[in-house]
A and B are shown apart, each in its own frame.
Chain A
């Protein structure tokens, strides 16, 4: 009987999962909302089931519709992708209870990592470093000072009842403690009517570095190196790379060891990511674990020569993973998330129909996209159009290839973040890897570069010829020629044939 897998997602990741299915000889089953009736992920599937209207809460977020679609098509496996219900333990349980195989970790693992306090406690018990912090409010300034002497400065003073950054103070040295303590306390009272304050280590200029792990039912857990994800805009990653330009083999080994310990502590099965905050002095601290495949997984796949989505499916079928015990990185990969937004207009969303699309090709280039020429980017979902990934023998080559890929790409009909990436990949700090998670907060898109004289002249000639041609075709006959006649006939205004 044909093995079928239901993809409980849409867009680029649904297409990605569909490809892994084909590679494994499994038949992909798509689901779609009314906004996605003929989207690429539907067109690539053998079966497709409508699950509701465009809003996600009436379609892609409805467990019963998804499970029903699996049953109707005889799919035995369910892959949630990322976003939507991917980290929803109740959905994972419902899938399991329906007698289907969930392509992901057990719901117990999702639950354990889903709670900030529980995961912190578990990590502490497993010996995974967490940001040092007081677990009870400070009785007096001396307690804060003692904490600083033990863990180092600067410290972040926080109101126990606080949130949203209110009532927080940074303390840079021990002699600042008494005044800061008094101030934080009075702020805590005025903001939250509660004078309790505590402190934790404040990690300045930290980077976001995450480790990919993979576990199977035989109890094996393997780490596949790290990804550098410090370049974030509005807390959204925009450019990721593997390996991190600042992680040495020795540091990688220690981070991988911690990540495997974190995964083991929750009996982790399938692909997952342990996120760390990496301080400039090389210390690293557990942030959280993402219990799913990540957007940026392709950079790991290119450097480690694995197919993480196919491994997830193998593991869900009860098979052992096909990854060696100590996978070694080879080369360097960079990913740019291309969004339908206009960087020269404050990154305003730019939905619409793509009437011209050329993806880059050639050595070292991978494109994961959910759209084709003629498709419309719907307003209802994430505006990511594609992930462009460039691989090189080293970081410099990967960057050169990424620039080539960005320049080769053609998207007409909508604006994209490509000009932003071209500018970003000229920044000296980005090129040297000297960035932190705050980097893009202090970096503004410089605007479209002033065109060169050549570009201005070519643009002017193209615009004038287009306009002249249009008025000629209107004047030349009582019935205007359709523009398609130009395209099919391909007349030339010159000597090239």
Chain B
């Protein structure tokens, strides 16, 4: 399997070409064309004990998010990276940068109760602007607009309980 990855390091973000070859005797990972043998053992909870040829070891647990984003816990550190297989990466390059920005819906990231809705249909909003206040775990939490746009519809009402990922507002480009 071939991938295009973007990962942040101490000297900023860099792009890496990754190729993974799995076989019963081991795994060979090529980073930017340089192959190396890795020793990788699954651990409970969906993680891996990852052992590099030079003996460097860490327990790494990947959490796939949307749009090719993967959050990986490595020991006590968190690494966020973008990992797209070659086909998707090519499709994205053809479609332009906007292709994977997701829908314009405003969703609840966490389950909770809608306390206040701060906007109405037809309102223009800016990316990052608070649009809904959710109460969860005894605290008020702002839900922010994911991008600039105009509110097309409000899908919930104040006092309503909502689940994680539920659409709160529909947003269309300005």
Contact = CB atoms under 8 A, between A and B. Distances in A.
A455 interface: yes
B137 A462 contact: no
B97 interface: no
Given A379-B111, A464-B29, A493-B40, A454 B136 contact: no
Contact of B62 (A341, A462, A491): A462
B51 A494 contact: yes
B41 A492 contact: yes
B1 A468 contact: yes
Nearest to B49: A496
B41 A490 contact: yes
A350 B111 CA distance: 9
Contacts of A451: 7-10, 74, 77-79
Interface string A327-357: 0000000000000110010001111100110
A426 interface: no
Nearest to A448: B78
Contact of B31 (A355, A457, A471, A491): A457
A412 to B, nearest CB: 5
A165 interface: no
A458 B111 contact: no
Contacts of B138: 381-383
Given A356-B47, A494-B51, A351 B136 contact: yes
Contacts of B61: 356, 410, 412, 462
Contact of A461 (B29, B109, B112): B29
Given A451-B79, A460-B18, A465-B40, A494 B62 contact: no
A463 interface: yes
Contact of B39 (A352, A454, A471, A492): A492
B79 A340 contact: no
Nearest to B38: A461
Contact of A467 (B38, B78, B85): B85
A295 interface: no
Interface stretch (B20-28, B98-106, B150-158, B166-174): B20-28
B78 A454 contact: no
Contacts of A349: 110, 112, 136-137, 139, 141
A418 interface: yes
A448 B81 CA distance: 13
B65 to A, nearest CB: 11
Contacts of A341: 137
A466 B62 contact: yes
A166 interface: no
- Which has the most chain B C-beta neighbours within 10 Å: A349, A412, A449, A472? A349
Contact of A456 (B39, B51, B79, B136): B79
A487 B44 CA distance: 7
A283 interface: no
B70 A493 contact: no
Given A379-B111, A472-B22, A463 B45 contact: no
Contact of A455 (B16, B77, B137): B77
B90 interface: no
Contact of B1 (A381, A460, A464): A464
A460 B137 CA distance: 34
Interface in A419-452: 419, 422, 448-452
A493 B22 contact: yes
B117 interface: no
A459 B7 CA distance: 9
A445 B47 CA distance: 27
Nearest to A406: B76
B5 interface: yes
A490 B48 CA distance: 11
Nearest to B68: A467
A454 B50 CA distance: 11
B24 to A, nearest CB: 8
Contacts of A383: 137-138
- Which has the most chain B C-beta neighbours within 10 Å: A344, A460, A472? A460
Contacts of A379: 111-112, 136-137
Contacts of A350: 110
A35 to B, nearest CB: 12
Interface in B25-64: 25-27, 29, 31, 37-42, 44-48, 50-52, 56, 58-64
Contact of B60 (A355, A449, A462): A462
Contacts of B9: 450-453, 456
B73 interface: yes
Given A379-B136, A471-B1, A495-B39, A355 B45 contact: yes
B137 A351 contact: yes
B83 interface: yes
Contact of B20 (A455, A465, A494): A465
Given A450-B8, A453-B9, A494-B26, A466 B76 contact: no
Contact of B83 (A344, A418, A467, A487): A467
A491 B40 CA distance: 9
A332 to B, nearest CB: 23
A400 interface: no
B9 to A, nearest CB: 5
Nearest to B78: A448
Contact of A486 (B10, B42, B72): B42
Given A461-B29, A465-B20, A496 B39 contact: yes
22 contacts: A349-B112, A351-B111, A410-B73, A412-B45, A451-B78, A452-B77, A457-B52, A458-B60, A458-B74, A459-B7, A460-B79, A461-B38, A462-B48, A463-B62, A464-B20, A465-B27, A467-B3, A469-B22, A486-B42, A492-B40, A492-B41, A494-B40
Interface of A: 340-341, 344, 348-352, 355-356, 373, 379, 381-383, 406-407, 410, 412, 418-419, 422, 448-469, 471-472, 483, 486-487, 490-496
Given A460-B31, A467-B1, 9 more contacts: A356-B46, A406-B76, A452-B10, A456-B8, A457-B31, A462-B48, A467-B85, A494-B27, A494-B41
